[in-house]
Amino acid sequence: MFHRTARVLEHVKLAERTFRVRLQCPELAAAIRPGQFVMLRLPNTTDPLLGRPFALYDTVLEDGKPVAFDVVYLVVGKMTGRLVEVAQGESLQVWGPLGKPFLDVGTPDRVALVAGGIGQTPFLAYTRELLGTRGFGGDVSRARTKKVSLYYGVRNANLAAGVDDFLAAGAEVHLASDDGSIGTKGFVTQLLESHGKTEPLVGCGPEPMLHALANLAAKWGVSCQVSLETPMACGVGICFSCVAKVKTEEGDDYKRVCIDGPCFDAAKLVWE
């Protein structure tokens, strides 16, 4: 794991309350894999004291070598509210890669990525990895599937962030919104279901959406993994603030999302 002071190379608005921050950190950019995350902390302040977790959105290459990485975030509270004010040329404290990459999906013809809210963020790098257009963590690029379909649900059109990035990366994009202002009106899981059974499913987003996805996967009898966005304090397995309840052969148990996840087999989680 690297702990660095990383310079902000770019900081741009993508959608309502949604921003992309690009951080210069070659070692971390070279090591991180899709599904993993970093902790970010503001410079020159202890408020908030704890870092906050953010998924890898993308890596940035120069002459074919990773030099920086992108995080896309939604402003929800104290840290993200202050992060917006950090300008290009300033620095952030960053540590990672943290957590485990997405679980192996084998080599299916198609992979369906299902995102809700800000849950699209882990899927851009993953699209590149699945289609074999970029290697991560020192791996050479190799195609694992022919087609990546992103199902992306938002409250309204103003919150849809990064759709062009996904199209440019080669994903097929299907949009849903609560108010019908973009894509199909309704929940993203309803849109997915209307397209018929598909496997494997990979989800990230609010827990009710992930629960609905897990139920759909069980109904279809298909494999499904979900990336959890559980609030975290340490990010490295020490504080137990991030636990998720899982089924084991000995009964229910708790796993730390920061080190055992954030990606889990949806069938093994206890949904409450």
Ligand X SMILES: Cc1cc2nc3c(=O)[nH]c(=O)nc-3n(C[C@H](O)[C@H](O)[C@H](O)COP(=O)(O)OP(=O)(O)OC[C@H]3O[C@@H](n4cnc5c(N)ncnc54)[C@H](O)[C@@H]3O)c2cc1C
Cα dihedral sign, 184-186-190-194: negative
Least distance in angstroms from the C-beta of 257 to ligand FES: 6
Positions in 70-99 near ligand X (CB under 6 A): 71-74, 76-81
Cβ contact 71:54 at 8 Å: yes
180 binds, among ligand FES, ligand X, none (CB under 5 to 8 A by kind): none
Instruction: Determine, following the binding rule CB under 6 A, whether residue 160 of this chain makes contact with ligand X.
Output: no
Instruction: Determine, following the binding rule CB under 6 A, whether residue 226 of this chain makes contact with ligand X.
Output: no
Distance from chain centroid for Cα 47: 25
* Distance between start and end Cα atoms, the chain: 33
80 binds, among ligand FES, ligand X, none (CB under 5 to 8 A by kind): ligand X
Strand partners, 156: none
Instruction: Determine, following the binding rule CB under 6 A, whether residue 112 of this chain makes contact with ligand X.
Output: no
Q: Which of these ranges, 62-70, 171-179, 186-194, 226-234, lies near ligand FES under the rule CB under 6 A?
A: 226-234
For ligand X, which is the closer residue by CB, 80 or 189? 80
Instruction: Determine, following the binding rule CB under 6 A, whether residue 37 of this chain makes contact with ligand X.
Output: yes
Cβ contact 38:32 at 8 Å: yes
Least distance in angstroms from the C-beta of 54 to ligand X: 4
Least distance in angstroms from the C-beta of 230 to ligand X: 5
Cβ contact 30:66 at 8 Å: yes
120 binds, among ligand X, ligand FES, none (CB under 5 to 8 A by kind): none
Instruction: Determine, following the binding rule CB under 6 A, whether residue 230 of this chain makes contact with ligand X.
Output: yes
Q: Residue 223: left (phi > 0), alpha (psi -120 to 50), or beta?
A: beta
Instruction: Determine, following the binding rule CB under 6 A, whether residue 235 of this chain makes contact with ligand FES.
Output: yes
Interface mask toward ligand X for 115-134; x: CB under 6 A: ---x--x-------------
Q: Given candidates 218, 238, 267, 270, which one binds ligand FES under the rule CB under 6 A?
A: 238
> b/e per residue, 12-25, with b = 16+ CB within 10 A?
eebbebbbbbbbbb
Which residue's CB comes closest to ligand X?
A: 77
Q: What are the Cα distances from residue 51, in Å, to 3, 20, 41, 235, 247?
A: 12, 17, 5, 8, 30
Least distance in angstroms from the C-beta of 52 to ligand X: 4
Instruction: Determine, following the binding rule CB under 6 A, whether residue 241 of this chain makes contact with ligand FES.
Output: yes
Cβ contact 189:161 at 8 Å: no
For ligand FES, which is the closer residue by CB, 39 or 176? 39
158 binds, among ligand X, ligand FES, none (CB under 5 to 8 A by kind): none
Measured at the CA of 75, the angle between CA 114 and CA 99, to 5 degrees, comes to 55
DSSP structure class, residue 157: G
Question: Which amino acid is located at 64 in the chain?
Answer: G
For ligand X, which is the closer residue by CB, 57 or 151? 57
Q: Which residues here bind ligand FES, judged by CB under 6 A? A: 232-235, 237-242, 256, 258
